Amino acid sequence: MKYLPLNKEIFVQNRARFVQKMEKNGIAIFNSNDELPTNGDHLYPFKQNSDLLWLTGIEQEDTMLILFPDNPDVKFREVLVLVRPNELKEKWDGHRLRREEAAAISGIQSIVWLDVLDGVLQPWIHIAESVYLNSNENDRKSNLVQVRDYRYAKEMQERYPLHTYQRSARILKELRAIKTALEVAVMQQAMDITDVAFRRLLQFIKPGVMEYEIEAEILHSFLVQRASGPAYSSIIAGGDRARTLHYIENNQECKDGELILMDFGAAYGNYCADLTRTVPVNGKFSRRQKTVYNACLHLHQFAASILKPGITLLEYTDKVGEEATVIFQKIGLLKKADIKNEDPDNRAYRKYLYHGISHHLGIDVHDLGTRTAPVKAGMVFTIEPGIYIEEEQMGVRIENNFWITKNGNKDLMQNIPITVDEIEALMKK
């Protein structure tokens, strides 16, 4: 890992929160992700299962976690399972964690090697009354690949058919949505790294630069600040390409007179930042660009004023949509007739703002959390309204990350330049 060691109390607290939600005499088992092949004998870079990361901080493949808070043997109430270090494999693939190293990262003292797990796990299963198994229940999930968690669940149910089985994901969806102060401190580091990268870009962007050159500057800035890298594929979209929400080709020239939309964020300690800014390639907004940008900034600020405990994301999105309807009339995008004749299921403003306003943020850039239950203190959200105008070949989006507090929210990106004047002044330098 490139980042400095995190406070192990992050993971100690997370496990304690999970255990409190378990039924008496239950055992919970978590698996790492698979190592996935590309072609030949190559593998994709390994990315750990987010739930296992949230509970342990361990990034190594072939890792498992077992939580059995009512185990009669106190020292095995939480157990970390690791692959045994192998001299030959380490010559090829590098160092693997020793017991003391894994304990320092996770705060777990009981370490068991994977090759002896069956012998110790079976007696625990026999004592337990229910078994918690994990699955990916992110509402945005669309991948049907049978990953290790699903294969393991099938194997356990075949092997121990008379046990009661529970869904760990139901608990994790609730817990991971609420960030502890220790987690937010790590997220703040990711956001501060992203801030530095953005300021670097304002000195770099000019007519003739290629989108991939901007992406390279972002990656350079992230790595020299000890980030793991980008939290997701950076979107660097000049001109009309900004209307494509997940544009990642990043292979075109940035031209004089265009805007460039940049959606990027650093990952630090596996926690994500998610920033979007739209800036003029030549350093100066035209009158129309300024009008549209300020309209988007107004929507951003309006959304921030109402995103607080008690509102649901669906209610919040509707309120932002009402404000967008008013603003889009003021800047000449909608007429009264458009609103009078709109389809209630496809509001008129949706022609120019066709995505959600906010999503949960954490270890995953689209983190676990519900859209229908009321927002709670401790959640972290993006706020990212956009305005996309096909007729003008223009797209504008502005995004910051907010931590929900008891009385409102805190902008974790409040120091990152956001106004027209701030952006133009820094680009002029």
Q: Could you write out the three-class secondary structure of 187-233?
A: HHHHHHHHHHHHHHHHHHCCCCCEHHHHHHHHHHHHHHCCCCEECCC
| Residue with token string 């987690």 | 183
pLDDT of res. 379: 98
333, amino acid identity: L
131, amino acid identity: V
Separation between Cα atoms, residue 218 and residue 234, nearest integer Å:
9
Q: Name the 3-class secondary structure at 411.
A: strand
Q: Find all residues with CB under 8 Å of 42, minimum gap 6, and list them.
A: none
> In the CATH scheme, what is the homologous superfamily, with its name and number, of domain 9-174?
Creatinase/prolidase N-terminal domain (3.40.350.10)
DSSP 72: S
Separation between Cα atoms, residue 159 and residue 169, nearest integer Å:
21
Q: Name the 3-class secondary structure at 346.
A: strand
Torsion, Cα 293 378 361 52, to 10 degrees, reads 170
Enumerate the domain spans of the chain: 9-174, 181-428
Q: Token pair of 300, please?
A: 């951003």
Of 176, 190, 175, 172, nearest in space to 401 by CA: 190
pLDDT of res. 241: 98
DSSP 376: -
Separation between Cα atoms, residue 184 and residue 412, nearest integer Å:
9
- Per-residue pLDDT of 350-379, as tens digits, reads 999 999 999 999 999 999 998 899 999 999
| Residue with token string 């801030």 | 195
Q: Find all residues with CB under 8 Å of 392, minimum gap 6, and list them.
A: 288
- Same CATH fold assignment for domains 9-174 and 181-428: no
DSSP 348: G
Contact 293, 354 (CB under 8 A): no
Under-70 pLDDT residues of the chain: 142
250, amino acid identity: N
The CATH architecture that domain 181-428 belongs to is Alpha-Beta Complex (3.90)
Contact 254, 260 (CB under 8 A): yes
